[in-house]
Structure 1
């Protein structure tokens, strides 16, 4: 039969209120590292660091500037060298930047898709969401940074081409203030919205190649399909595809629409804004429901 052990003496609870100057922690300890409540500005700063530090941004924007400026100035020089000065009297010299901007839009589409879809491909989106659990804030920050970059680069390129073509085409008329606004700021806003739509599609599809293919098809397919609609029964659909195709909407900013009816003035900008807003709402809803 075992002998019962005497109860162990109770020890006093440790007193964490150490004496002044002691290295032990004290009650009410405050970390010297400031704790800041995060907001949209922090997410924007993070996305700005990302977009300016990856190679795809430099390559796509570099090719974009090369296409817009190179083709725009080359077109103006070619027309100036071969056209009769009298025939240029009624031409808007800003309109010769159309061809470079149309091709350059492919670069903005590619960059817009890569801004979101590439993170899903590499898995970096998990790190992004851990750092910023608010998914809507991440999408908003990406959109703000991309739109600002795309707009500024397009505006600078289009203004440079405009001044160069005016200098090359001596016989052309001087553009009005409204034509300057539409041919520089207006078309820059339109292309930035087109790139933003690509970013949203990349967030929805989550696959770079698939999203780029969809966006290039959206730009080129309506016009190409309309060219092969020869029957009279399809004339209404053919005209609608011509009128609302993206190349025709771009030409509206230079008052050189491919059709006599359809969008005019600033209509293409409002169309692009409405479509992009609807796509953004859909992307936000899917982002909240899906797993990362």
Structure 2
């Protein structure tokens, strides 16, 4: 019996949200990332306080931990798609929801629904902590600048989780997916500037960093936040599309 598309979307979205919120690793990962952010914010703030008063930026210091926080959202994205393969639950999922294209697409929407508020809270907590510690010594900032930076940071972490979920759907195994992505983010990408300096800014993590970072005055040919968001979004959509194509063709 055919099911209307709107009904399919509602059923799948409810099921995918339920799976994510009841997966213990979802909350353990987010809680661990939140604690890590506060620890790093405290460390970066302490270093900033030792500098010359009036030269530190609250936003730059509060968001300095983003390069480390992305690891938590990489793990979150991978677990969202790989966890069902570990115990064979994917067979039950595909039996009850045989619309593979809808199912994987909406899984990413469900992941975004959880990631967006979590990413905002985590990013904002670091900035808030830094502001409370450095408000008397740091350079001032405008509220709209802070909001733009936090929105950019939230978008960056959300796209990172979605891209990681798509890679997880392609690889289907947690450990290999973690090796591939963490190897890219912390080994390949940092050293790529020595070999591909002209193209590094178009890599997903580098382009995404322009969504929240203020470029150095000496940096040339920088991307705007919108350009960085567009490039990261394009990377994410391409990998999600590839994941959906392979997902529909492969056996569970």
> Could you say which TM-score interval applies, normalised by the shorter chain?
0.7 to 0.9
Which residue of structure 1 lines up, in the alignment, with residue 47 of structure 2? 78
* Alpha carbons 1:147, 1:196 under 8 Å: kept: yes
Query: Residues 251 and 172 of structure 1: is their aligned pair in 2 closer, same or farther, counting only changes over 3 Å?
Result: farther
1:284 paired residue number: 244
Structure whose residues are more often helix by fraction: 2
**Size of the alignment, in residue pairs?**
246
Q: Is the 8 A contact 2:104 2:244 kept in 1?
A: yes
If asked which structure has higher relative contact order (CA below 8 Å, sep 6+), I would say 2
Equivalent in the alignment of 2:200: 241
SS in 1 for 2:225: coil
Cα deviations by residue, 1:37-80 (Å, 9 ceiling, x for unpaired): 64212212111221122221122111110112221233223312
**How far apart are residue 251 of structure 1 and its match?**
5.7
Q: What secondary structure does 1:220 align onto?
A: helix
Which runs of 5 or more structure 2 residues have no equivalent in the other structure?
none
| Structure 2 equivalent of residue 267 of structure 1 | 227
- Which position in structure 2 is the counterpart of 1:182? 148
Q: What is aligned with 1:18?
A: none
User: Which sections of structure 1, spanning at least 5 residues, go unmatched?
Assistant: 1-35
For residues 204-243 of structure 1, the aligned pairs below 5 Å read 204-226=170-192, 229=194, 237-241=196-200
**Structure 1 vs Structure 2 CA RMSD:** 2.4
Pair 124,157 (structure 1): closer, same or farther in 2 beyond 3 Å? same
Q: Write the distance in 2 (CA, Å) between the matches of 1:266 and 1:147.
A: 19
Report which stretch shifted further, 168-177 or 63-72: 168-177
Instruction: Tell me the equivalent position of 1:116.
Output: 81
- Seen in structure 2, the aligned counterparts of structure 1 residues 86 and 104 have a Cα distance that, compared at 3 Å, is closer
> Which one has the largest radius of gyration?
1
User: CA contact under 8 A between 1:182 and 1:254: conserved in structure 2?
Assistant: no
Runs (4+) off by over 6 Å: none
Q: What is the TM-score of this pair, normalised by structure 2?
A: 0.87
Q: In 2, distance between residues paired with 1:39 and 1:62?
A: 32
Deviations 1:234-276 (A, max 9, x none): 5xx2353367472574266220459433323332211110011
